[in-house]
Amino acid sequence: MPIWPVKYDMIKGVIVPIHREGRSFIAVFLVATIFLWWLWTPLLVLGMVLTCWCIYFFRDPERVTPTRKGFVISPADGVVQMIENVVPPAELAMGETPRTRVSVFMNVFNVHVNRIPVDGTITRLAYRPGKFVNASLDKASVDNERQAVRMQTEEGQEIAFVQIAGLIARRILCNLANDQIVKAGERFGMIRFGSRVDVFLPEGVAPMVCVGQTTIAGETVLADLASDSLASDGEVR
């Protein structure tokens, strides 16, 4: 049996694609590393560590997205920080009725490429400038810079997701347009460097994840729009 396919798969598992937004940053880090080396040879180690972290931060691995109709897929890697009933951001014009909000917090070591949560059509985009407080705090949903997106599923249900800047995040990237038809798991943007993504579920839809659970963008199922099951419980084991 040839060993090359096995070796190739192993290499793919270690070396992942880099998001195009990271190329200029990596180049800057490389130049800075050379400069530090020129200043004082031992600083080369520091420069190499920072460059490796920059490459790691902008990694963009492939994901296997469940394609069953009705699944709401996590748009971000990270940890489920909060699950609460709150009114969606006013700029989305979704009314004053509270909806279940699932908040996924990304630290600086998570993959920061964001993905579409469900099949459907983008119906509204709204950017709002703001502060840069810790994204793990509840007030970040109100005070921080954010990019909100409302969409309608193929079955006519409304769902929204919001990219929220964090303490050291200074750039929200969203490559969507109004009336754009999208598929769950497709890449749509990213946030630099450490932040949060909120998902607002339709009324009556319970989340399938728990607070403290780790999510994988494009893979973890947050909810099932076709199910009337109760919210999930969880415990550390």
pLDDT in tens, 60-81: 999 999 999 899 999 999 999 9
Separation between Cα atoms, residue 142 and residue 182, nearest integer Å: 27
Domain count within the chain = 2
Residue range 202-219: average pLDDT? 95
Q: Which of 195, 227, 229, 232 is catalytic?
A: 195
pLDDT digits (tens, 9 = 90+) for 6-58: 454 545 545 678 888 878 888 999 999 999 899 888 899 999 999 998 888 88
Percent of the chain with pLDDT over 70: 85
Q: Please check whether residue 155 lies inside any domain of the structure.
A: yes
Q: Of 111 and 21, which is predicted with more confidence?
A: 111
Q: Indicate which CATH number applies to the domain containing 95.
A: 2.70.70
Q: Is residue 133 located within the same domain as residue 105?
A: yes
Please give the pLDDT value at position 167.
66
List beta partners, residue 131.
Answer: 144
Sign for the CA dihedral angle at 186, 188, 191, 195 comes to: negative
Q: Which domain holds residue 166?
A: 71-224
CA distances from 227 to 84, 97, 202 (A): 19, 21, 12
* Amino acid type, 218: G
Q: Please check whether residue 151 lies inside any domain of the structure.
A: yes
103 in catalytic set = no
DSSP for 115-161, written as a single string: E--SSEEEEEEEEE--B---TTSTTHHHHB-EEEEEEEETTS-EEEE
What is the Cα gyration radius of the chain? 19
pLDDT-wise least confident of 106-110, 137-141, 213-217: 137-141
Mean pLDDT across the chain: 87
Q: Is residue 50 located within the same domain as residue 77?
A: no
Highest mean pLDDT out of 7-11, 55-59, 142-146, 167-171: 55-59
Separation between Cα atoms, residue 34 and residue 26, nearest integer Å: 12
Q: Is residue 43 located within the same domain as residue 91?
A: no
